[in-house]
Amino acid sequence: MTNENARLNVDLPGLTLKNPIMPASGCCGFGEELGNLYDLNQLGAIMIKAATSRPRFGNETPRVSETPSGMLNAIGLQNPGVDEIVAEKIPNLKAKFNQLPIIANVAGSSESDYVAVCRQIGQPEKIAAIELNISCPNVAHGGMEFGVDPEAAYSLTKACVAAANVPVYVKLSPNVTDIREIAQAVAKANPAGFTLINTLVGMRFDLNTKQPILANRTGGLSGPAVLPVALRLINQVKSVCDLPIIGMGGVNCAKDVLEMMIAGADAVAIGTANLTDPFVCPKIIADLPNVMDQYHITSLKDLIAQRNGVSV
């Protein structure tokens, strides 16, 4: 029997994690607010809010709408810009939680934007890894434009991998006909791995005004409703590509985490569940050993090693 702590360890390129759990980008800010609620050193890692070259207000409001077992959001990559993130947000987070690997989400509207931000933020003294956001559905330029075209995704990934001095994980969009095609194209640019899924594009309308509820008209669907879609896409990517995957999409509890790891994930990010319960990540970490016992899982590394043959 592995000792209690080591049971939850997972290793990914650049990320030696005490457990696989990390709050997903866009659902934990820059760690300031959650860091006032609990000790973030408990987390496997944290994926901070997207950084762009310039400060962004994002979209107008309403930016969110509830849906059955889920929600739509169209925040629009609001952030204070990479300069402030590098000068203040990251140093503050590191000063308060010195055992917390930071994964920085990078977004942009052009390849040169992405490259400049990757170069500035992607230094090992600042962060552990980059999550390259080529799949944000809520901005007019960039974002998902790159993530739905295999050639554009390859070219952008290649440039960012070259610009950054930390491992680059590419965040894939579910809003494509065949995610395997995109994953295989991106893999040729030698990223450290993938993160998936970003949100699914959706809409809701107001019966009174007959208009879309979100100011951006469309938004990204997340929450428990998308879990099966995320599991399918993770499993599909795993079936064609050996790169490690940080899985995300509708994960709410320790059972969901294990299911996502069986599907193909090596670590798991928790997104929308933080909005329902800001304490969800430490709760899942605390629950994992008991749920692993229930399903006779000795350690997460064993689970990953043994999950062969579970592909679409």
Partner 1 sequence: MIKDYTVTVEQQVELAPTIFELTLNGAIATAGITAGQFVNVKIPDDQYILRRPFGVAEVNETKAQIKLIYRVVGEGTEIMAKVQPDDQLKVLGPLGHGFPIDFLQPKDRVLIVGGGTGLPPLYELGRRLQQKQVQMEMALGFPTRERVFYEHEFAAFGETYVSTDDGTYGIQGTIIDLLNQKFKAHEYQAIYACGPRGLEIAVSNYFAGHPNAYISAEARMACGIGICNACVLHTKADPNGPSEKKVCVDGPVFHIDEVLL
Contacting residues toward partner 1, per CB under 8 A: 26-29, 32-34, 36-37, 49, 54-58, 61-66, 68-71, 73, 75, 78, 80-81, 223-224, 272, 274-279
To partner 1, the closest distance from the beta carbon of 213 in angstroms equals 9
CB-wise, 235 or 252, nearer to partner 1?
Answer: 252
The Cα 57–Cα 62 span in angstroms is 13
The Cα 157–Cα 190 span in angstroms is 8
To partner 1, the closest distance from the beta carbon of 75 in angstroms equals 5
Degrees to nearest 5, angle at CA 206 with 136 and 212: 35
Strands 64-67 and 70-73: antiparallel
To partner 1, the closest distance from the beta carbon of 160 in angstroms equals 24
Q: Extract the runs of DSSP E, i.e. beta strands, from 96-242.
A: 102-106, 129-133, 168-171, 193-196, 200-202, 219-222
To partner 1, the closest distance from the beta carbon of 279 in angstroms equals 6
CB-wise, 72 or 163, nearer to partner 1?
Answer: 72
CB-wise, 80 or 150, nearer to partner 1?
Answer: 80
To partner 1, the closest distance from the beta carbon of 20 in angstroms equals 21
Token reading at 298 = 């000795």
Choosing from 118, 136, 160, 281, the catalytic residue is: 136
What's the burial of 155, exposed, middle or buried (CB within 10 Å: 0-12/13-18/19+)? middle
Does residue 104 contact residue 51 with C-beta atoms inside 8 Å? yes
Nearest CA to 146 among 98, 111, 197, 102? 111
CB-wise, 62 or 150, nearer to partner 1?
Answer: 62
CB-wise, 58 or 289, nearer to partner 1?
Answer: 58
Helix and strand element counts for the chain (H, E): 12, 14
Q: Extract the runs of DSSP E, i.e. beta strands, from 8-90.
A: 10-12, 15-17, 21-23, 46-51, 64-67, 70-73
The Cα 303–Cα 306 span in angstroms is 5
To partner 1, the closest distance from the beta carbon of 94 in angstroms equals 19
CB-wise, 28 or 230, nearer to partner 1?
Answer: 28
- DSSP structure class, residue 79: B
Give, rounded to a whole angstrom, the gap between the first and last alpha carbons of the chain: 32
118 given a catalytic annotation: no
**Residue 74 Cα to chain centre, angstroms:** 16
Biggest distance spanned by C-alpha atoms of the chain:
61
CB-wise, 23 or 174, nearer to partner 1?
Answer: 23
To partner 1, the closest distance from the beta carbon of 62 in angstroms equals 5
Known catalytic residues? 136
